[in-house]
Structure formats: structure tokens, C-alpha cells
Structure 1
Amino acid sequence: MANRIWVAVGIILSLSSQVQSAVDCNTTGVGRFADPTDTTCKKYTLCVYNSSTKIYTSYNYTCPTTLFNPNTGTCSPDYVCEVTNPASSLCTEDGYIPNPNSNCTGFIECVKINNTFTATNYSCPDDTFFNPNTTLCETSYKCPTPTFTCTAAGRFANEADSTCQTYYMCVLVSSNGTYVQEKYNCPSTSVFSPSSSFCTTSYACP
């Protein structure tokens, strides 16, 4: 009886770290990756591959006192968080809008309280995509293919954005040239400068 209890406890403990992750380990592969829905730059996911089962397992972590640097895959005291709250640049009215960092698998709920927007991130159920036309997660919705593809690590301007407020972050995750591509928004008072690869108030958007 005692052995059965210990076996049960062991199973519970092993499953407690395997939680739903905002990072798709099947896409990223092995490594540590920033949570694309986290605006504090503290959360990240560790992707581990089990060669015997051929299944990826994801573990969510939070940097205790520092920020997660997606370039090095570590918690760093020197990293500057460049992810902004989606409400400051995306929310214009109450309702649901696509999460630009989720590749159609998530959405943002915008709520205006005392003339200030608050944004809450949500993920669609597995095998569904957020349809901005119906504001529902649907299996039949076809997510548009991104027009930008990472070919090198770094930050790159979104040439399709006439406001110059969005850019792409490319992170090399394997030696075979595989990149993780994420889209970010500059703070509402700044634009992305392709020359400095940073959000700035001094750059003049063409």
C-alpha cells in the first residue's frame, strides 16, 4: 500500500511542471524561449525533447528578480524589456482583437476603465485560430502567412507597416539555421528605426 502511495505522489509531482505553454515546442525545438504573451519579459518556457517517446515537454518559468533575454536564453540583469503592453498601442475600443505575437492562436480582450485600456491575453483551444472578423476561435479560419521571414538574428523593421511602429525579432534557436520569429510593437510615442534597430522618438517614419 505504501509503495502505491509513493508511486501516485511521484506521478503527481512529475506532472505538476508540465503545464500549458504559450510557446509551441514542436515549432521552436529544444531550448529556452520567451513567453510571447508576457509583457513583463520575465516569463519563459523550457522545451525538452524525450527521444524515447519523441515528444516535447514544456516547463514554464519566471525570472525571479531579472528579465529573460531571448537572445541568450537566460535571465539577465542587463536586458532591457522592449515588449509593451498591447493595450497602449493596440486597444482602441472595448472588445477582442488579434494578438500579433501569437500567430493567430491567441487574442486580446480590451476593456476601457476610467479612460485607460487594460489588456488580457487569451489562447485559443488546440487546433483553432482566432478569426478577427467573428472574434471567435475557429477550426476553419486560415491564418495569413507572415510576409516577413527571418534570415538572420536581430530586430528588423516591418516594411508592411506604414506607421513604423512594429518590428520583428529573430532569434536563432539551432545550428541548422532555424529561427524563432516574433512581432513586437513600439511604445505609442515612438517608432522603429531600421538603422539602430531600436524604438526611438528621433526617427522620422518615411
Structure 2
Amino acid sequence: MSLHEITTRITKAAEEAGRDPSDVTLIAVSKMQPDDRVRAVLEEGHRVFGENRVQEAAGKWPGFREEFDGIDLHIIGPLQSNKVRQAMELADAIHSVDRPKIATTIARIADEIGSCPDLFIQVNTGEEPQKAGILPGDADAFVAQVRELGLPLKGLMCIPPVEETPSLHFALLAKIAERNGLAGLSMGMSGDFEQAVALGATHVRVGSAIFGARD
């Protein structure tokens, strides 16, 4: 599948849901992709990318930023406390704020460096013990805590359980966001981004459908 095909499908899904397609940002997830594939997507004019691991992002994106203007980099994977500073210096947005310790670390470093990326709280909508994210029942209190820290909270993120209907999880995330007055919804991946768009996604994270299977 091509980048053009994905953007066409996003446009169609948005229009069918009565939404403006420009309200949906496509994040091309470039984790574990070779540089030549990433460069090809950059050369097509796409500028919004997602990385899971801070270390990989640090090895890849400073070089691309010297070559290409206007890159918007999103960290979408779980964040360790010792990687927060590096993530904040690299990224324009972090989608995986998933516990109070990470939020307080971000706030402390933001005070030190005088800036902070846009933030999304990761909600573990499936309440899976092996998965990162705040539990749905704790989400409202955590949203309040992040706001009290003065951080630029833009929205929520989720990764539905693989064996469950994703739309149920997208609807739950949208409900939590709505009652907390949050506009951003980072949800939907290669296999389900159209369902996510129909349910209000503002950011969809698509990797293999753009780049092909990872090596």
C-alpha cells in the first residue's frame, strides 16, 4: 500500500463520518524501518513520523532534520524515566505519558529546559496487565494531575487489545476525552485506522501499511 492510498482512505473515512479530513494527522510509524524507506516517504512530502524507542529516534532523526525541513516527530512507545530528557529534546509530541512518575519527570525537565512537547496520556483501555497506560478508572484523576503540573496536555492515546473489537476501545477513549475537555485522540493503526477516524481520531499511527513489513 502507498502513502497516497492511506491518505485517500483517511480522507474518505473522515468525509463519511462528516468530519474535515484536515483534522486527522497521519503519523507514519518508522520504527525499525531502514533509512532508505523513511527517506522515500520524506521525499514524497510527508513530514509527520512516529518512533517507539527514543534511542532509535536519536540515531535516525537529527540527520534527517538536517536534510529535510518541517519534520514533526512523535514518540509513541513506552517511556522510561531515564529517557525522558532525551525524548523531550528530540520530539514534538509524546503519546505515551502513562503514569504519575513520568508526568512529574516531564514537568521537572520542562522547567529546566524551558519547553515541552505536546503530550498525550496513554490509556490502557483493555486493562491488560502487560501493557503500558493508565487504567480507564484512573484516567480523570491523572488528567487533572497532568494539568495541575502545567503541562501541554493535548489528548489521549490507546492501543486496543489485538483480539478485541477496536471500535469499542476507540469509543471508550473518545468518551474519556470528551468528559475531560480534551480534543486530541491518538488511536488507530494499519489495520483499523478507518474505524478510528469514524470515531473521532485526530492522529492515526500507520507503519507497515506505508513502509511495508519491517525487516
State TM-score, norm by structure 1. Answer: 0.24
- Structure that is richer in strand per residue: 1
Larger Rg: 1
State TM-score, norm by structure 2. Answer: 0.23
